[in-house]
Amino acid sequence: MNNKKYPDKGIDREITEQLIIYILANYEEKTQLTEKVLRNLVYCCDINYYRLYGETITKSSRYKKTERRLLNPELSSVIHDLLKNKIIKRIFCTSSNGKLKNYYASAFPFCPSAFTDEQRRIIDETIRQHVSSRQ
């Protein structure tokens, strides 16, 4: 998504915050949500919407795929701000192999949606695909 034909656009922080909160509110009860899974879900929601409508939900085109994960510095900043403002939280636990793992959760049980019906449909379908692939 990041090339000369499609110039870089800054992330829409408000809609990205809403997307993260929506994902957490609709995903965290189904499985434990690590930062990597959260980033991948945001990316997959963006790419699935982009394939249909030619733009991303977050309005960002700054994804960079590395060997270990997808990077988007602006997304990192949004996640950090949500944690700092206690809108989302980290839950720490020990895995079966004794390693400390942390998962994200919404600090609020209800998330009013800021998305159109079509955006919500694509987000929900993306979440369903990820949940079924992890089980």
Over the stretch 5-45, which tens digit does the pLDDT of each residue have?
444 567 889 999 999 998 888 876 666 788 888 888 998 89
Higher pLDDT, 19 or 2: 19
The answer as to whether 58 is a domain residue is: yes
What CATH number does residue 27 fall under? Answer: 1.10.10
pLDDT band at 92 (very low <50, low <70, confident <90, very high): confident
Judge whether 35 lies within some domain: yes
pLDDT of residue 114: 79
By C-alpha distance, which of 37, 36, 14, 31 is closest to 87? 14
Cα(27)–Cα(132) distance, rounded to whole angstroms?
Answer: 11
- Residue 4 has what pLDDT? 41
Q: How much of the chain, in percent, has pLDDT values that exceed 90?
A: 21
With cut-offs at 50, 70 and 90, classify the pLDDT of residue 122. Answer: very high
With b for 16 or more beta-carbon neighbours within 10 A and e for fewer, the 101-117 pattern comes to eebbbbeeeeeeeebee
Q: Is residue 8 part of a domain?
A: no
* Nearest C-alpha neighbor of 53 from the set 118, 125, 5: 118
Q: How many CB atoms lie within 10 A of CB 38?
A: 20
Residue found by looking up tokens 């991303």 in the block: 56
Q: What is the total count of domains within the chain?
A: 1
Sorted by sequence, the CB contacts under 8 Å of residue 102 that are 6+ apart come out as: 34, 35, 90, 91, 92, 93
Q: Give the residue-averaged pLDDT of 121-127.
A: 91
The pTM of the full predicted model, rounded to 2 decimals, is 0.80
Find the domain containing 103 and state its range: 13-134
